[in-house]
Amino acid sequence: MPTRAAFPRLTAAMAALSCAVAVSVTTGGGGAGARSPVEDLVSERTVPGAAELSQDAHGAVRFTTAGVADVRTGRRILPTDRFRAGSITKTVIATVALQLVAEHRLDLDDPVTRHLPADAAAALRRPGPDGPEHDRPVTVRQLLEHTSGLFSYTDDRAFFGRVFGAGFAAHRYEHHTADTLLRTALAHPAYAPPGSGYRYSNTDYLLLGMVIRQVTGRSYAAEARHRVITPLRLTGTSFPGVRTTLPSPHGRAYSPSGPGPDDGVTDVTDLNPSAAGAAGELVSTLPDLNRFFAALLGGDLLPPAQLRAMRDTTASGGRYGLGLFPVRLPCRRTVWGHNGEINGSYVQTLATTDGRRVVSYRVNSDADISRTAEAKLLSTAFCPTHRTGRTG
């Protein structure tokens, strides 16, 4: 979904932190100590609440929360609260696709049209508008790493305005099919020829959802439940399909009511997530996201070859692998994960390469949050100098 790409937006803040004094964080129940970076994610007018769940290499878990889950009742965010996880859906979809690769049911270098329904394959095969170089086949690998060059359907101005912009209130319950979303994407010229460079596109994972159904005979949601959600006992995670409400327990989700800092927020909790589909419909919890990324990076979901491929960022110039991206910290540690943004929600999960240390944090708003606070939170979680109180 329209997602704040963490890799470029955190770069400057991380660089600034490399020589900053270390900060400490409050514990889940509050307590004395320096101000928590989680508190700095909250904005009085536009971001009502924030929460972080971290697990260290020894399995110790810390939950920290700030602000409120519901501006009407004032209740705080619970660790078990369900929320929309946006583009973290992509990491789950990529995991399913790479399991199919490991089972020799897919090949990363297969033309994607080989694994699509006839109508979708025919639409994708149409000659490109910018010359014969655009007629090269898009591969499964290029979808996973966002080098397909395909226009992202969420970049269509009319679509964006209806689903994420000023038209949201009137269109929030509309149903969108994958075929319709693909037609929206293919009505626009490609960004670039396939394989020529990286550009994040929700169309890529829309197509991967169709590929999974074509190869397995079951929906991407059913395959993800069978292969990921059920084995890991992710009891708070689901693919809602067209369900407009969140499962309980949950707080509320908010968008800024206007462009000004004093305009307040509007409740956007209920919506039809079919506009997100395989690119961003997932609902989850902070504990489930930590468990999933720990298992994935720890080697419990993919064989070594596929996990190595997932972390190969060569084609994107170091920005994105196959459903994962790296974040380089000032302490010279690289962590891996994904973020997700959708109406009323922003979340990010990152973990060490072995999956032993993991942190998820979220806000219940799609307003911009402090990049400095994000950078401090990650350095506190992953950089030893920040945990011990020494300068970096």
Residues with a catalytic annotation lie at 87
Is it true that the peptide bond before 189 is cis, omega within 30 degrees of 0?
no
For residue 206, what are its two tokens? 């829309």
Question: DSSP letters along 295-314, please?
Answer: HHHTTSSS-HHHHHHHT--G
Question: DSSP letters along 26-46, please?
Answer: -BTTB-SSSPPHHHHH-BTTT
Query: How many angstroms separate the CA atoms of 144 and 183, rounded?
Result: 20
The alpha carbons of the chain give a radius of gyration, in whole angstroms, of 20
Separation in Å, CA 325 to CA 69, 128, 143, 226, 279 = 29, 29, 14, 25, 15
Query: How many angstroms separate the CA atoms of 323 and 315, rounded?
Result: 13
Q: What are phi and psi of 189, to 5 degrees?
A: -60, 150
Please tell me the number of Cα atoms within 13 Å of 42 on its side-chain side: 20
For residue 109, what are its two tokens? 């270098």
Residues 6+ apart with CB under 8 A from 166: none
For residue 3, what are its two tokens? 């997602």
Residues 6+ apart with CB under 8 A from 362: 50, 51, 52, 83, 286, 345, 346, 347, 348
Q: What b/e sequence results for 29-49 when a residue is b if at least 16 CB atoms lie within 10 Å of its CB, and e otherwise?
A: eeeeeeebbbebbbbeebbbb
Other CB atoms within 10 A of residue 66 CB? 23
DSSP class of 273: G
